[in-house]
Structure 1
């Protein structure tokens, strides 16, 4: 698959369909996240310009049964894998 068939990566993206930052056409492709120079596989949401990612806090769930997310700040790089 060439890069011309993929939409450009947004600055802020979430994998949660209820989020206003969810983009179905982008999430259909494999996306890689490099955070502070390390590859991360557990990112639920990111913002490149503000420099943060949200990841699950272990196995902790919120009161609606979804994973509890924590925000980590640092250098974020998103790319198509």
Structure 2
């Protein structure tokens, strides 16, 4: 009887424990838009119909993403970011 209890506990889908994806999210922990609970799962971002893996920050409602501009760094040693506007879709992988 305990074996069936363990299997039912193990078959609960993990997607129920995922937090809702916010409208705006940033990977930088210093940002006010950083949500650490979201980064415990794989997040995918589709920008203008193509999946991107280099997105640093996004905003769905305003329709933009920030991506690094090559190897250029700012004066604090962080990657220099550019903002691209278009259709943004966010999903869990």
Runs (4+) of structure 1 exceeding 3 A deviation are none
Aligned to 2:44: 32
* 1:18 and 2:54 correspond: no
TM-score, length basis structure 2: 0.85
More contact order relative to length (CA 8 Å, sep ≥ 6): 1
Q: Which runs of 5+ in 1 are unaligned?
A: none
Paired positions, count: 81
**Deviation of 1:56 (Å):** 0.1
Higher fraction of helix: 2
**Deviation of 1:18 (Å):** 0.3
Higher fraction of strand: 1
2:85 to 67, 70, 73: 73
Please give the root-mean-square deviation of Cα atoms over the aligned residues, in Å.
Answer: 0.8
Q: Which runs of 5+ in 2 are unaligned?
A: 1-12
